[in-house]
Amino acid sequence: MTNLFPNAWHVAVREYTQRVQTRTFLITTLILALVGLSLALLPIGIRLIAGDEAAQIGLRADAGTVETAQVQAVLSANAGSADNGYEVIPVSDLDAGREQVRTGDLNALLSVSRGADDELTFTYFGDIGPTNQLVLAVRSAVTQLVIADRLQYAGVDPGEVGQIFAPPSFDTQSADPNRTDGNEPWSGSAWALSYVLVLLTFMAVVTYGSWVAASVAEEKSSRVMELLITAATPRQLMAGKVIGAGAAGLTQYLSILGAALVGLLLQGTIAQQVLGDASSNLLEGVNLWALLPFTLFFIPGFLLYCVLYAGFGSIASRQEDVTQVTAPMLFIGMGGYFVSFITMATPDVYWVKLLSLIPFFSPYLLPARFLLVGNIAAWEWIAAGVLMLLFLAVALWLAARIYSAGVLLYGQRSNLRSVWRAVRVSR
């Protein structure tokens, strides 16, 4: 792998400029950046469309069952910090109340009566579904109302019933007294950000790794490779392709992330101006220094995938064959993605720690685990870093052997057997 430069650099500059100067690249980057900005501001848009009006629930209750104030208090307690609260409106006639639900004057109607066994019975009229938040809130509220009613029948003082249902004091603390990363353990923000980082890693290695492979196949199919091979060695071409196409992909990637980050930083200010109050965002309560491990492992991990994508892509003689020959890399990337989501629930068990050391999984798991638990041992960072560099060196050697034979193969069937033959050829 000696004598790569300056030829590899010339190839990289040519590859980069050809990609980023095209109208398609510019338009696509602009659209994706707007999408990233829109997703960051999506919570504000949802609140703006939905409005801050409380959900109106009609209550038709028989005498001696429940009072409107009771239902209102329980629903308000269940609402917690929700933006939209609940408003309970007394309804005297059941048919009239159902008509109000049908016309949209009420969001739902709750009918309460007492059965022959003196138990409260409830009937809910409105839109139903397993994820309907209003149904879930009303179901939780009526459960508390029934328990309170049973307690009163058992002789518990009504004043004590409210104390029984008072929310408990519940705090979360890390088991590690030396934890200094600044994130609350298992906080919602850290959890959400860890999932976002896993998703971004998967999108980058698969999307822009495919760019590198497609670029090689494109030049082979157009016979440009035959001219390039006379001016540079296959290893120099591969290095230039990886650097140039990878840099172009990262340019687009950083543009999208930059737009999304601007949206997140401005979310509170925009919410204050548009809605009158600052809304929470993904970065709230998260120490942004926790993103440093993501960067340190993302870059070599990205190079690892791109190098192997370039090697496999050199086997394809046509653009149609790229997906077939790069399928192994796609499966490996998807494996890291799905394993990360599965292990998020138990990020600190021993087998997850072992998976975090595997270079194909390290860019996914280590930053996510650091965000969630914060007490990653020093030996894990060192071992994962050393293994990543070793794997990258092996990948460079392997991809160079495949590439040096693959760029000269035309008209042959693209499959794993071709890759194996390319590796075995002595060069």
Give the pLDDT of residue 138.
84
- Do residues 16 and 212 touch, judged by C-beta distance below 8 A? no
Q: Is residue 179 part of a domain?
A: no
Distance separating alpha carbons of residues 57 and 62, to the nearest angstrom: 16
Share of the chain above pLDDT 90, in %: 2
Residue 255 and residue 392 in one domain:
yes
Q: What is the pLDDT of residue 185?
A: 47
Q: Taking the C-alpha atoms of 293, 294, 295 and 298 in order, what is their torsion angle to the nearest 10 degrees? A: 120
Handedness of CA 127, 133, 137, 140 (dihedral sign): positive
The shares of helix, strand and coil residues in the chain, as percent rounded to the nearest 5, are 65, 5, 30
Q: Are 396 and 311 in contact (CB under 8 A)?
A: no
pTM score over 0.85: no
Average pLDDT over residues 203-214: 84
| 60 membership: H or E segment, kind and range | strand 55-61
The CATH number for 77's domain is 3.40.190.10
Task: Examine the pLDDT at 167 and tell me if it is beyond 70.
Answer: no
At 132, is the secondary structure helix, strand, or coil? coil
What pLDDT score was predicted for residue 409? 60
- The answer to whether residue 123 is domain-embedded is yes
Q: Which two tokens stand for residue 14?
A: 């040519």
Q: How confident is the model at residue 279 (pLDDT cuts 50, 70, 90)?
A: low
For 393, half-sphere exposure in the C-beta direction (CA atoms, 13 angstrom radius) is 6
Q: Is the pLDDT of residue 164 over 60?
A: yes
234 has a pLDDT exceeding 50 = yes
The counts of H helices and E strands in the chain are: 17, 4
CA 10 to chain centre: 36
Same domain, 160 and 65: yes
Q: Which of 94, 129, 164 is the last residue of a domain?
A: 164
**Same domain (yes/no): 76, 142:** yes
Do 58 and 33 fall within a single domain? no
Same domain for 201 and 329, yes or no, is yes
> For residue range 38-61, what is the model confidence (pLDDT) as tens digits?
877 777 776 666 555 677 888 898
In a domain, residue 176? The reply is: no
**pLDDT above 80 for 288:** no
Is pLDDT at 390 greater than 90 in this prediction?
A: yes
Please give the backbone phi and psi of residue 185, each rounded to the nearest 5 degrees, phi first.
-60, 130
User: Does the residue 291 lie in any domain?
Assistant: yes
- Encoding tokens for residue 245? 């196409």
Least confident of 183-187, 194-198, 379-383: 183-187
Averaged pLDDT for residues 61-78: 80
Residues 364, 221 share a domain: yes
pLDDT digits (tens, 9 = 90+) for 196-205: 788 888 888 8
Judge whether 90 lies within some domain: yes
Where is the domain boundary, 164, 195, 220? 164
Question: What's the rounded Cα separation, in Å, for the pair 373 and 290?
Answer: 11
What confidence tens digit (pLDDT) does each residue in 138-159 have?
888 888 888 888 887 777 776 6
Element of type H or E holding 89: strand 86-90
Whose structure tokens read 């010339």?
A: 10
Q: What is the pLDDT of residue 383?
A: 92
Residues 35 and 60 in one domain: no
The structural domain count of the chain equals 2
Give domain status of residue 170, yes or no: no
CB–CB of 301/359 below 8 Å? yes
Same domain assignment for residues 143 and 206 = no
- 249 and 159 fall within a common domain: no
Mean pLDDT of the region 127-146: 78
In this structure, the answer to whether residues 285 and 303 fall within a common structural domain is yes
Alpha-carbon separation of residue 181 from 189, 192, 357, 376 (angstroms): 14, 17, 21, 11
Q: Is residue 1 part of a domain?
A: no
Of 117, 132, 164, the residue at which a domain comes to its end is 164
Residues 20 and 78 in one domain: no
Contact 344, 332 (CB under 8 A): no
Query: Is residue 217 one of the residues assigned to a domain?
Result: yes
Domain of residue 316: give its range.
7-45+185-424
To 5 degrees, how large is the angle CA 333–CA 334–CA 336?
Answer: 65
Q: Based on the fold, state whether residues 329 and 414 are members of the same structural domain.
A: yes
